[in-house]
Amino acid sequence: MTDDHDHHQHDLAAKQIILDDVAQYGCHLALLPADNYLPAFAYSIGLYKTFGHPELICFGLSTNVMAAILNHARDLIKNGERLHTDTLYDGFLTGYNIRFLEVDKAHYADYVGYGGWFYDGSFDFPLLQVIWPDKQHHFPWDKDFNPDWKFKQPLLDRNTDFKFYEERNIGVYVTSQAFKGDPILYVYHDEEGDWQFLTSETPDANDVKLVCLEEITRLDPGINHLFHLQYGWRAWRNTAGDAWQYAADTMEAES
């Protein structure tokens, strides 16, 4: 009961801060630090209401740098400038240009939840993603872009069928019963990065096979909702129709 109460109070306080910032500054910046798997990201709330301009989201840099980028954008927008997807922009990152992409609405619920709350429980607002280049000025869609940086900023104008921060052909473990109609009920993302998709809590080792992660998302598109599962965490549900529950994998932590 205490945890639920504390969460409710935190949620109320966060929403009040959003309202106060939009009233005072024209927008609020939500800053989400990196965890042990996903990069940090930041997004605006209120640009569309205050200035009629798409909201903005940025990934993979420090929260301070991303806040500076979004605040600079807010200042330009406040002075009447419109940011477009077909233009290179300087002045946001010292020595580097940036670009913008239009975010597919299939990604909104994954990243801009408080934005949906602010706009009356709806994701009916435009959203642009800030895209920054590598140190050689290549953008993520360029052939020579630094491969080590590929998953620092997901491209949210695409890949709605595969939201994981890994290659589609990465090998993962699954119980063979999943391909015979049994629902996947237990998912583990090991500390070493391995994924396990199981139809029972204690499967027979002889039933476990190695397949591409993309095969799992094709078998059960709902698995895409688990893309954010951190290293050392697990997710489970009682039936295929239930919502997923999440927790740190305490058994792995103790081993």
Chosen domain end from 149, 180, 210: 149
pTM for this model (two decimals): 0.92
Calculate the alpha carbon distances from 68 to 53, 114, 140 in Å. Answer: 18, 20, 21
In 64-194, at which residue ranges do the beta strands (DSSP E only) sit? 89-93, 96-102, 127-131, 171-175, 186-189
* Spatial contact of 53 and 82, defined as CB atoms under 8 Å apart: yes
Partnered with residue 174 across adjacent β-strands are 197, 209
Residue 252, amino acid: E
Q: Mind listing the pLDDT tens digit for each residue in 95-121?
A: 999 999 999 999 999 999 999 999 999
Task: Specify if 156 maps to a domain.
Answer: no
pLDDT, residue 250, reads 67
157 inside domain: no
**How far apart, in whole angstroms, are the C-alpha atoms of residue 106 and residue 39?**
19
* Token pair 């706009």 in the structure block, residue: 119
Is residue 177 domain-shared with residue 140, that is, in the same domain?
no
The answer to the question of residue 163 being in a domain is: no
Strand positions, DSSP E, 25-107: 28-32, 41-45, 55-59, 89-93, 96-102
Considering its fold, how many domains does the chain have in total?
Answer: 2
Cα distances (Å, whole numbers) of residue 226 to 152, 168, 236, 246: 18, 15, 10, 9
Q: Are residues 198 and 126 in the same domain?
A: no
Are residues 18 and 116 located together in one domain of the fold?
Answer: yes
Q: Which domain holds residue 38?
A: 2-149
- State the pLDDT at residue 7: 75
Instruction: Compute, in degrees rounded to 10, the torsion defined by CA atoms 64, 66, 70, 72.
Output: 70
Cα-flanking dihedrals φ and ψ of residue 210, to 5°?
-105, 125
Q: pLDDT tens-digit profile of 55-64? A: 999 999 999 9
**20 plus 125 within the same structural domain:** yes
Q: Which residue has the tokens 């129709």?
A: 241
Question: Considering the domain boundaries, does residue 101 fall inside one?
Answer: yes
Domain boundary among 95, 115, 149: 149
Is there a single domain that holds both residue 9 and residue 121?
yes
The tens digit of pLDDT for each residue in 117-151 reads: 999 999 999 999 999 999 999 999 999 999 999 99
3-state class (DSSP) for residue 107: helix
Domain check: are 16 and 130 in the same one? yes
Residue 95 CA: distances (Å) to CA of 32, 92, 122, 176: 25, 9, 38, 51
Does 159 reside within a domain?
A: no
Q: Does residue 165 fall inside a structural domain?
A: no
